[in-house]
A and B are shown apart, each in its own frame.
Chain A
Amino acid sequence: MNHNPFENWIFEDELEPGEVKQLNAHLQACPACKALKTADLEAKRLMRSASISSPEAGFTNRWLVFAHRQEEQAQKKQVAILFSIFITLAAIATTILITASRQQGIEIVFFLQSSLTNFLHWFQRLVITLNSFRFVLSVLPFRVPAIVWIFLVGNLGFWALVWTFSIWKFPSIRKVLA
């Protein structure tokens, strides 16, 4: 016996009246689907009859203790992180002081200084480029004639269509792209 679509309709909440009629007729004739419907009703009964469970008395007090412990742990972790950073920096500084000669010390300072200068220079160029780009975007739409825009957008749309159609039409291309 064909159980489709009745096998799925058993679990649908929003059936048309006609569909409900058809489903009921099928359930009368099909023991397998009837058993599934009975099982669905049993699952619902089990869930609806199960009460809301409560924790043991004193949950709020236990939570307060838990929260206090968590706060303490968080504070300890924060202190440990700060302490580790401090120790690491102190160790690096001490190593440099002990191992490096005066000349090397000066070179390190120059290296740090030039790295910082390079970073600032690079950041400045990024900001200038972004500003220029924004300026071009704000000016360009008014300088270029409307007909050119129509031509460009139309052209772009046409090639996008060609591309989509070719992928849809030729499964081999789809496979390569996948």
Chain B
Amino acid sequence: MTPDQGIDSTLFTTVVEENHRPVFNLCYRMLGSAEDAEDAAQETFWKAYRNYHRYDPTRPLLTWLLAIAAHHCIDEIRKRRMKTISLDAFTEEILPDSQPLPEHQTELRMENEILHALLDTLQPEDRAAVVMRYWYGFSDEEISQTLNLTVPAVKSRLFRARKQLATVIKQQETNHSAEIRRQNEPQSI
């Protein structure tokens, strides 16, 4: 299927079928909730379907779709302040049954939760750049094309994002250590 052809939504389902996983993942990492990610991914494919004539076939289709998804998510984040999802809500969304989880799975979910809380501290564009670098292995040039930024701007955003993430983790570690020290101190009467 080329952009010159008349696009039928049934034909476009092939595009959806082949690319929905990476698009959903980007939306999920950007928005932090499976429900919001589902909506954003559907909107992304709808926008792509409506604007398929604008797609440049010399570029990879996935890059184009991720660009649409990233811009949509950035707009969404700007529109509404992201709410921090509680662990309970997260578990409820992902796990339909209430059976106890194996320990490593619980650990993974906890890590996921920490990761989303960390990503939540970043500016929307910085978050998009980080997701593209660490989940999709995009180069600076690819990120710049996808987010309509210059390469130095991408470098600067990634640098700022990494510094921010490390500072938050370091702060959390410091607080955690202080808490443990306080608990271990003998209580003075």
Using CB atoms and an 8 Å cutoff, list the residues of chain A in contact with chain B. Answer: 8, 10-12, 35-40, 42-44, 46-50, 52-56, 59-60, 62-64, 66-68, 70-71
Contact = CB atoms under 8 A, between A and B. Distances in A.
Contact of B24 (A42, A55, A71): A55
A39 B13 contact: no
Given A11-B159, A12-B159, A53-B28, A46 B170 contact: no
Contact of B162 (A43, A49, A53, A70): A43
Contacts of B20: 55, 59-60, 63
Contact of B130 (A47, A52, A68): A47
B111 A53 contact: no
B134 A36 contact: no
Contact of A50 (B9, B111, B162): B111
B134 A48 contact: yes
Interface in B80-111: 111
B4 interface: no
Tell which of B20, B130, B135, B169 has the most Cβ of chain A within 10 Å.
B169
B41 interface: yes
A32 B24 CA distance: 38
Tell which of B25, B162, B166, B170 has the most Cβ of chain A within 10 Å.
B166
Contacts of B169: 39, 42-43
A51 to B, nearest CB: 8
B42 interface: yes
Contacts of A35: 170, 173-174
Contacts of B49: 67
Contacts of B174: 35
Nearest to B12: A67
A53 B115 contact: no
Nearest to B21: A54
Contacts of A50: 29, 111-112, 115, 135
Given A54-B24, A59-B24, A46 B16 contact: no
Contacts of A39: 165-170, 173
B38 interface: yes
12 contacts: A36-B166, A39-B168, A39-B170, A40-B166, A46-B114, A47-B135, A50-B112, A52-B21, A53-B29, A53-B37, A54-B21, A62-B38
B118 interface: yes
Interface in B1-58: 9-10, 12-13, 16-17, 20-22, 24-25, 28-29, 34, 37-38, 41-42, 45-46, 49
B16 A63 contact: yes
B163 interface: yes
A70 B166 contact: no
B13 A52 contact: no
Contacts of B37: 53, 55
Interface in B150-189: 159, 162-163, 165-170, 173-174
Given A49-B111, A67-B49, A43 B16 contact: no
Contacts of A53: 24-25, 28-29, 34, 37
A63 B20 CA distance: 10
Tell which of A11, A52, A63 has the most Cβ of chain B within 10 Å.
A63
A35 B176 CA distance: 14
B9 A64 contact: yes
A55 B24 CA distance: 7
A59 B165 contact: no
Contacts of B41: 55, 59
